[in-house]
Amino acid sequence: MSSSYSNTGAVAPKPANRWFQLVLGILCMGLVANLQYAWTLFVNPIQAKNGWTLSAIQLSFSIFILVETWLVPVEGWLVDKFGPRFVVLIGSVFAASGWVIDSYATSLTELYVAAVVAGIGAGCVYGTCVGNALKWFPDKRGLAAGLTAAGFGAGAAVTVIPIGNMIATAGYQQAFLWFGIGQGILIFIMALFMVRPNPPAGVRASPRVVTTKVDYTTGQMIKTPEFWLIYVIFVAVAAGGLMVTAQIGPIAKNYGLDKIPMAFFGATVPLLTLTLSIDNLANGFTRPLCGFISDRLGRENTMFFVFLGEGLAMLGLMQYGHDPLAFMTFAALIFLFWGEIFSIFPSICADTYGIKFAAGNAGTLYTAKGTASLLVPLASVLYAGNGNWDNVFIVAACISIAAAFLAKFVLAPMRRRLIEKSNSTSVAG
């Protein structure tokens, strides 16, 4: 462990410019988000042209997610060592190259190589931008991480229509090529303005947020039981939420609701389409909102209420979801209570283990998302057991509610003791 972070290397901007650095991170996250969220637009055109099975094509997406998730600890370590500019510059090249390779791919092997390349690029940008937000804003860590994480979905919301239009008019290869190059160039340019975090002196977190004065390396962090408890809670909440959120379409179809016409601002759209649009808005909105709340009320206090809310929303969808309006309401609440994990968990990691190695540490914790994704097929097993979704809702709800009590009544006192001990040792030293 080392004493509080002192930056070296590139000259940092004035403290007021930390908001500019945050905006750069949000924009970069928005640009790289298409690698994940716009992928679904390409699947059917790829199948139509090449005749590959959907499962074979979607394996590329799974490869992308695993690479994007599991390499973030390495990319975070590079950020802590060399600074954000270097890593995001590399990420921009890999992000662009992934889609360029996709545009020329004539075999599944090439498609899978493109997924690896794109995954590296997305991980470089994601890990850097989240790590930077944690370091620049020790006083508003939850809000900053939440805004950055929200940018990961906002970019796709802005560009998904132009990408879809280009696929329809010029073909998916041209969309891959030109959007890949364009996104890469813009990320590259913004990376040039990134500097090592140098937060203004004297800023402090709320008294309700327990923070350390000591910086742990990733190796030191993973030796503490508190980290593994945080990791288990992250996996539990992510897995429980994914089990339900990934199955919203099949659930709506099973309930006979997916194609019900719904009036929305003068237009008529299928219920499932409207539900997914509202869910995505809730998923993005909750990240900065709950991050901001956790900055004021404390991480574990916020975790308790949102994880409990998620479990109750799942049970509400199970009980009342056969009604169209109730289905839309409870589905939106599930996304609202679930999406905040991508702001609260990076924040609590930096609170507990310091900011000097925050990018690498948060990246290591982020692998919990990949671990959770491996548990998602459990939903299909539970559904197959009796042919309805009740078992899925009950298991997922129990997981989320158990995580709420673990966070409040087990993690909170453990983390406080760890921080008090490390801080007293630091002062004594």
- Burial profile 24-35: b = 16 or more Cβ within 10 angstroms, e = fewer: bbbbbbbbbbbb
pLDDT at 258: 83
Amino acid at 138: P
What is the pLDDT of the chain when averaged over all its residues? 88
Separation CA 8–CA 17 (nearest Å): 17
What angle do helix axes 358-373 and 341-353 make, rounded to 10 degrees?
Answer: 140
* Mean pLDDT on 22-40: 89
Q: What does the pLDDT look like over 282-303, one tens digit per residue?
A: 888 899 999 999 999 999 999 9
pLDDT at 33: 87
Q: What does the pLDDT look like over 180-238, one tens digit per residue?
A: 999 999 999 999 999 998 887 767 777 778 889 899 999 999 999 999 999 999 999 99
Q: What does the pLDDT look like over 65-110, one tens digit per residue?
A: 889 888 889 888 999 889 999 999 999 999 999 999 999 999 999 9
314 close to 305: Cβ distance less than 8 angstroms: no
* Mean pLDDT on 51-73: 87
How many other CB atoms sit within 10 Å of the CB of residue 266?
5
- Residue of 101 and 248 predicted with greater confidence: 101
412 close to 260: Cβ distance less than 8 angstroms: no
97 close to 11: Cβ distance less than 8 angstroms: no
pLDDT at 8: 41
Confidence of residue 263 (pLDDT cuts 50, 70, 90): confident
Q: Is the pLDDT of residue 5 over 70?
A: no
408 close to 308: Cβ distance less than 8 angstroms: no
pLDDT at 384: 66
Does 218-428 carry CATH code 3.40.50.300?
A: no
pLDDT at 12: 43
Q: Which residue has the tokens 């796709």?
A: 156
| Residue 292: alpha-carbon gap to chain centroid | 17
Q: Is the pTM of this model over 0.85?
A: no
Residue 208: exposure state from Cβ atoms within 10 A (0-12, 13-18, ≥19): middle
First to last CA, the chain: 12
Cβ neighbours for 16, distance < 8 A, ≥ 6 positions apart: 200
218-428: same fold as 15-191?
A: yes
Tokens, residue 89 = 């510059």
Q: Is the pLDDT of residue 323 over 50?
A: yes
pLDDT at 280: 78
* Mean pLDDT on 385-394: 83
Per-range mean pLDDT, top range of 45-54, 84-93, 136-145: 84-93
pLDDT at 262: 85
> Per CATH, the architecture of 15-191 is what?
Up-down Bundle (1.20)
CA atoms within a 13 Å half-sphere pointing along the CA-CB vector of 82: 13
Separation CA 105–CA 164 (nearest Å): 19
* Mean pLDDT on 24-33: 93
Separation CA 171–CA 169 (nearest Å): 6
Amino acid at 375: L
CA atoms within a 13 Å half-sphere pointing along the CA-CB vector of 138: 25
Q: Is the pLDDT of residue 1 over 70?
A: no
* Mean pLDDT on 32-54: 87
- Long-range contacts formed by 411-417: CB under 8 A, 24+ apart: 411/226, 411/229, 411/230, 411/233, 411/300, 412/300, 414/225, 414/226, 414/229, 415/210, 415/226, 415/300, 415/348, 415/352, 416/210
Amino acid at 367: T
pLDDT at 426: 64
Q: What does the pLDDT look like over 324-336, one tens digit per residue?
A: 999 999 999 998 9
pLDDT at 297: 92
Confidence of residue 2 (pLDDT cuts 50, 70, 90): low
Q: What would you report as the CA-atom Rg of the chain, rounded to the nearest whole angstrom?
A: 21
- pLDDT above 70 coverage of the chain, percent: 93
pLDDT at 11: 44
What residue segments make up the domains of the chain, in order of their start?
15-191, 218-428
